[in-house]
Homo-oligomer: A and B are copies of this chain.
């Protein structure tokens, strides 16, 4: 029996210097759905180095990427490094215009913001960077998954797995998402209780956030100037 239904096309941006779990977490979830075809897209198909120092090979270049049903933008330092890159931003805008869902994990939301896609939208990001999203006209929300219309953003790094399962339910239904959760044995049991600023210690976390935002301030400022230049 031939299944002639077109695949559900997910296209993820494979950013150099990305925080790879932002991508590989939801990728594992989405790849567990038989109807999903996942492409990893970058400017060329040369291997792309992630934050761990090893490389992932893009499956398509920007020029050859199909129109996404779902666009996924991961984060990390690499996200901040493309915020004024018009080739990247134009690819994101073009994909977003035709996608059913426009999504990001962690600081990938800054790429959506820099492309002008979060103006007036509720959205989230990594906890340490979230406040800066407001400067792009977004409404920052401290939740692991935030949906505003067809824009779905996930919180920091490991939030991508929770986010991936929520996307799976949107794409294939809740029953399919539950089967994926079982297959991935996603019954999390962190050995420590330090996964959010409050649990880690609010004062120490605030200092981490302050230092992180200070370090990224030049790239964010450049992005805002770039966004406002037209």
Contacts and interface: CB of A to CB of B under 8 A. Distances in A.
A177 B162 contact: no
* Copies of this protein chain in the complex: 2
B169 A182 contact: no
Interface stretch (A53-61, A92-100, A218-226): A53-61
Contacts of A211: none
Given A21-B25, A162-B189, A195-B188, A56 B56 contact: yes
Given A38-B54, A52-B31, A200-B178, A185 B19 contact: no
Contacts of A109: none
9 contacts: A24-B24, A38-B54, A40-B54, A47-B47, A54-B59, A162-B189, A162-B191, A178-B194, A188-B190
Q: Which are the 3 A-B pairs with shortest beta-carbon distances?
A: A156-B185, A187-B195, A178-B194
Interface of A: 19-21, 24-25, 27-28, 31, 38, 40, 47, 51-57, 59, 106, 126-127, 144-145, 155-159, 161-162, 165-166, 169, 174, 177-179, 181-192, 194-197, 199-200, 205, 208
